[in-house]
Amino acid sequence: MIENRYTIKFGADFRVFEFDSEGPKGRIRKIVQYTEINVKDFYNLGFGDKNSLTNQIDDLIVTNNNDSQKVLATVAATLLEFTNHHPDSFVMAIGSALARTRLYRIGISNNLKEIEKSFLIYGLKDKSWHRFERDINYEAFLVQRKKINFVKL
């Protein structure tokens, strides 16, 4: 999944990432931003088009640039990079609309084996976090980078 992605520009603190989506609608700048919420080491993953007037994320716009798989792979690559630099973090993602949350669920489901190599992943359902399972509609997603335990020989 991660191999077919766009080139990413990294922010100095590895919390803000930018890349360009390319397709029939042209070149569109995207932003992925990890914002710490009111709980230490818990971050919200914000994602969307970069508003050229405010330089902020517009997560309501629907680009339809025919590259959604490549865009999702690029966002996943930012998650790997973010958790390389913030290894104790938990990252929560929720779509700005039900259709986007569904798109995230489909992307996770289609790449679950690969994702589970590096991350623990949970889905929010009925106000509780559960281990992610395919074919279940979740309200949000939470991921944590797996810890590597080295055995001393």
pLDDT single digits (tens) 17-62: 999 999 999 999 999 999 999 999 999 999 999 988 888 998 888 8
Give the DSSP per-residue string, 139-151.
SEEEEEEPPPPPP
Answer whether 0.85 is exceeded by the pTM: yes
**Residue-level pLDDT at 79:** 95
Note the pLDDT of residue 147: 82
Cα dist from 116 to 65, 125, 147, whole Å: 28, 20, 12
CATH fold, domain 9-145, is: Aminopeptidase (3.40.630)
Query: Angle at which helices 68-85 and 98-110 pack, to 10 degrees?
Result: 80
Residue 30 bridge partners (DSSP): 19, 49
| Domain limits, the chain | 9-145
3-state helix vs strand vs coil in the chain, percent to 5: 25, 35, 40
CB atoms within 10 A of CB 56: 13
Do 96 and 118 touch, CB atoms closer than 8 A?
no
